[in-house]
């Protein structure tokens, strides 16, 4: 869950990336992006398991508190003090934190969290709670956090609100967010000496923040793309096999040259996006996993079939919501009798997977 990994110097002519040399000391506890996603899913599943409407409301309030901590890096006290009527602006997707005794700071949130908050604001079941939606007992919130930690196999220390705050800071820094922006998001009064030599105008800070949130949204919504952590690098004499563990738990294999491994700085534990072009995705309608030379085989459900004169586009949704677009001949689409809702295997060769460093 923690690592001290850093890579060597940037090749000549390449853009300098702080994330390439950024490392975290072994004694600093934090959750990486995949682990934070697992925790988010645990909160969603817990909320969905509620047997009564009032229990669902109670659990969803805790879930929203977690999501605010996870995406803003706020202190628990700051989130619990939020007035959902005055401090949450869904028009520009932002929340105002720490405004009680000072001027406060505006922090932007991803569109997905904005949608979740908007749905709650419009739900009559939460009507009597408006203005104090997040005002829950700290002890109660922490207990629910620890319960979700146990479900995920994490220690209590790793889901402490301060650890989640630290995890967001690490995530942002690894995303090449300038230190002054991270300092501003977290509401730190000081940073290290580096911050003293950097200045970022407020409009530029907002732009960087929004770019990061947009990039994070693309990781979970883009077609034919799996964002995740490199779980294994198997070196060969000319090429290497790279296995990527995606946010949704899929293992995607890619074979690339050793030179590309070096130039990209791919190492076990780093984060990459694995992409596949639509013409390389092959579909099969058999019930069992097909015997094929394609290394990557995923069971999904046909979401859309768009028939053309010669070629057709088929969208397949995997279990975690990842969507694969396959471009096949219209003759093949008709022979397979593809239709929305149908179970189908989407397959592609490891040589067709292109890796992009995050």
What domains can you pick out in the chain, each with its CATH number? Answer: 18-220 (1.10.443.10), 225-275 (2.40.50.100), 278-348 (2.40.50.100)
- Look up tokens 């995606």; give the residue: 246
Q: What is the per-residue pLDDT for 222?
A: 64
pLDDT (average), residues 59-63: 97
Point out the least confidently predicted range of 7-11, 24-28, 206-210, 344-348: 7-11
Question: Per the structure block, which two tokens stand in for 25?
Answer: 């000391």
Q: What is the per-residue pLDDT for 244?
A: 93
Measure the CA–CA gap between 93 and 89, rounded to whole angstroms: 6
Q: What is the per-residue pLDDT for 65?
A: 98
pTM: 0.62
Measure the CA–CA gap between 327 and 333, rounded to whole angstroms: 10
Residue-wise pLDDT for 196-235, tens only, equals 333 445 665 565 566 566 656 655 556 899 888 899 999 9
Q: What is the mean pLDDT of the chain?
A: 85
Three-state SS string over the chain comes to CCCCCCCCCCCCCCCCCHHHHCCCCCCCCCCCHHHHHHHHHHHHHHHHCCCCHHHHHHHHHHHHHHHHHHHHCCCHHHHHCCCCCCCEECCCCEEEECCCCCCCEEEECCHHHHHHHHHHHHCHHHHHHCCCCCCCCHHHHHHHHHHHHHHHCCCHHHHCHHHHHHHHHHHHHHCCCCHHHHHHHHCCCCCCHHHHCCCCCHHHHHHHHHHHHHHHHHHHHCCCEEEEEEEEEEECCCEEEEEEEECCCCEEEEEEEHHHHHHHCCCCCCEEEEEECHHHCEEECCCCCCCCCCCEEEEEEEEEEEECCCEEEEEEEECCCCEEEEEEEHHHHHHHCCCCCCEEEEEECHHHEEEEEC
Is the pLDDT score of 101 beyond 60? no
Residue-wise pLDDT for 146-205, tens only, equals 999 999 999 999 999 999 998 998 888 777 777 778 888 888 765 543 233 334 456 655
Distance (Å) of CA 352 to CA 122, 188, 252 = 45, 44, 11
Point out the least confidently predicted range of 1-5, 57-61, 216-220, 354-358: 1-5
Q: What is the per-residue pLDDT for 194?
A: 29
- From its phi and psi, is residue 98 left (phi > 0), alpha (psi between -120 and 50) or beta? left
* CA 120, 126, 127, 128 torsion-angle sign: negative
Looking only at the bridges linking them, the beta strands covering 282-284 and 343-348 are: antiparallel
Measure the CA–CA gap between 161 and 76, rounded to whole angstroms: 6
Q: What is the per-residue pLDDT for 21?
A: 40
Q: What is the per-residue pLDDT for 179?
A: 75
> pLDDT confidence of 93, banded at 50, 70, 90?
very high
> pLDDT confidence of 141, banded at 50, 70, 90?
very high
> pLDDT confidence of 10, banded at 50, 70, 90?
very low
Is the pLDDT score of 82 beyond 60? yes
Is the pLDDT score of 8 beyond 70? no
Of the chain, the percentage scoring pLDDT greater than 70 comes to 82
């Amino acid at each position: 869950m923690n690592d001290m990994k850093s890579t060597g110097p940037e090749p000549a002519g390449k853009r300098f990336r702080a994330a390439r040399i950024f490392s975290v000391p072994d004694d600093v506890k934090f959750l990486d992006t995949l682990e934070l996603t697992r925790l988010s899913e645990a909160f969603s599943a817990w909320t969905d398991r509620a047997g009564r409407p009032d229990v669902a409301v109670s659990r969803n309030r805790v879930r929203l508190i977690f999501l605010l901590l996870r995406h803003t890096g706020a202190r628990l006290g700051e989130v619990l003090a939020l007035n959902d009527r005055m401090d949450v602006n869904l028009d520009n997707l932002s929340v105002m934190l720490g405004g009680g005794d000072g001027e406060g700071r505006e922090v932007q949130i991803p569109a997905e969290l904005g949608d979740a908050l908007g749905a709650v604001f419009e739900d009559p079941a939460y009507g009597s709670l408006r203005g104090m939606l997040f005002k829950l007992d700290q002890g109660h919130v922490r207990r629910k956090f620890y319960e979700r930690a146990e479900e995920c196999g994490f220690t209590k220390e790793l889901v402490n609100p301060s650890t989640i705050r630290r995890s967001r800071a690490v995530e942002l820094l690894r995303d090449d967010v300038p230190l002054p922006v991270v300092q501003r998001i977290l509401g730190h009064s000081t940073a290290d000496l580096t911050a003293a030599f950097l200045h970022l105008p407020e409009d530029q800070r907002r732009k960087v923040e929004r770019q990061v949130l947009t990039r994070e949204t693309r990781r979970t919504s883009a077609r034919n793309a799996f964002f995740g952590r490199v779980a294994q690098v198997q070196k060969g004499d000319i090429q290497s096999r790279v296995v990527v563990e995606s946010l949704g738990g899929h293992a995607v294999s890619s074979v690339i040259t050793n030179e590309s491994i070096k130039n990209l700085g791919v190492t076990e534990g780093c984060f990459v996006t694995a992409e596949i072009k639509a013409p390389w995705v092959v579909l099969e309608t058999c019930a069992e996993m097909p015997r094929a030379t394609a290394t990557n085989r995923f069971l999904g459900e046909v979401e859309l079939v768009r028939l053309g004169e010669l070629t057709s586009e088929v969208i397949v949704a995997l279990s975690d919501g990842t969507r694969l677009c396959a471009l096949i001949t219209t003759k093949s689409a008709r022979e397979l009798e593809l239709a929305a809702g149908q179970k189908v295997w989407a397959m592609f060769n490891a040589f067709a997977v292109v890796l992009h460093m995050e």
